[in-house]
Amino acid sequence: MNFDNELKNQIEIINDIIEKYLPHKAEFQKRLVQAMNYSMLAGGKRIRPLLMLQTYRMFGGKSAIIEPFMAAMEMIHTHSLVHDDLPSIDNDEYRRGQKTTHMEYGEAMAVLAGDGLLNYAYETVSRAFAMEPENLNIGVSINILAKKTGVYGMLGGQSVDVESAGQAIEKEQLLFIYRLKTGALIEASMMIGAALSGASGEEVKQIETIASDIGLAFQIQDDILDVTGTAGILGKPVKSDEKNLKTTYVTLTGLKEAKKEVEMLSNRAIAGLDALSARNEFLRELIIQLINREK
């Protein structure tokens, strides 16, 4: 298997799925739909739907039922980015190599575009019921999605992140933010992939643990790249954490220790994946590449 070629093929498949599920019809709300699609079609690594799809396949899933969940996950992730970039939060001007939504459409429309993507995500997953009315795993998966994106998941992590901006915080609180704000969507992606495929409750729980390590390692690596990367490579401003006076894993422990933590979490996640009875070599390599990425 040529990993790079397969990755490119998989992302093309995911982009086609996402575009199929985007809103296209509009009347007077045309600008809102344009702003939503602007954010969604700006590119990106499509990490979460990719992890979802590969976990689904690892446990033997073959149905198109996974597709609305993949599209919805990217909508929710993109909604969080649109709101993160707002002047009232991070005030970033570029994302994925282009102007952020509020720079292109104005702050008010960017707020609505983020809200629109979040709401449309749940409208999208609801289509799964018509696809496979007898599939009880749809309800289980929607429950995972709702829990991991709400007050006790991504949104809860974002709230603590916003509240602690400009303050020095302890490691325990920082890890809480990371596990919810970043980790929860990665956990949800892989858990939904497992649940929809018919994996057992114990296997879904094992996947949650593995995904938790992946999410934390991914965020710490993001902190490292904010210090060591360049805007040209990353497609977004560097040192934005420093600009916004944010405590990061690097500011708490230093660059060397942060890199050690990424390595430890990466090894533990791979060991957990290897302990499963199911196998997916592409997923294994994908996790390694994501955690050790340079952009």
Sorted by where each starts, the structural domains of the chain and their CATH numbers stand as 3-291 (1.10.600.10)
Helix, strand, coil percentages (3-state) for the chain, rounded to 5, are 70, 0, 25
Strand runs labelled E in the chain:
94-95, 98-99
Strand partners, 95: 98
Instruction: State mean pLDDT over 126-147.
Output: 97
pLDDT of residue 53: 98
pLDDT of residue 240: 54
pLDDT, tens digit, 9 for 90 and up, residues 160-193 = 999 988 888 999 999 999 999 999 999 999 999 9
pLDDT, tens digit, 9 for 90 and up, residues 187-236 = 999 999 999 999 999 999 999 999 999 999 999 999 999 988 654 444 54
pLDDT, tens digit, 9 for 90 and up, residues 27-77 = 999 999 999 999 999 888 999 999 999 999 999 999 999 999 999 999 999
141 within 8 A of 195, measured Cβ to Cβ: yes
Q: Is the pTM of this model over 0.85?
A: yes
pLDDT, tens digit, 9 for 90 and up, residues 222-256 = 999 998 865 444 454 555 555 556 799 999 999 99
Instruction: State mean pLDDT over 101-126.
Output: 97
Q: Which two tokens stand for residue 258?
A: 């942060």
Task: Give the Cα separation of 207 and 203 in Å (integer).
Answer: 6
DSSP calls for 223-238: HHHHHH--HHHHSS-S
pLDDT of residue 233: 47
Task: Give the Cα separation of 156 and 244 in Å (integer).
Answer: 20
95 within 8 A of 42, measured Cβ to Cβ: yes
Size of the chain, expressed as the number of residues it contains:
295
The runs of H, that is alpha helices, within 168-200 are: 171-181, 183-197
pLDDT of residue 97: 84
219 within 8 A of 252, measured Cβ to Cβ: no
Backbone angles phi, psi at 140, to 5 degrees: -60, -45
59 within 8 A of 198, measured Cβ to Cβ: yes
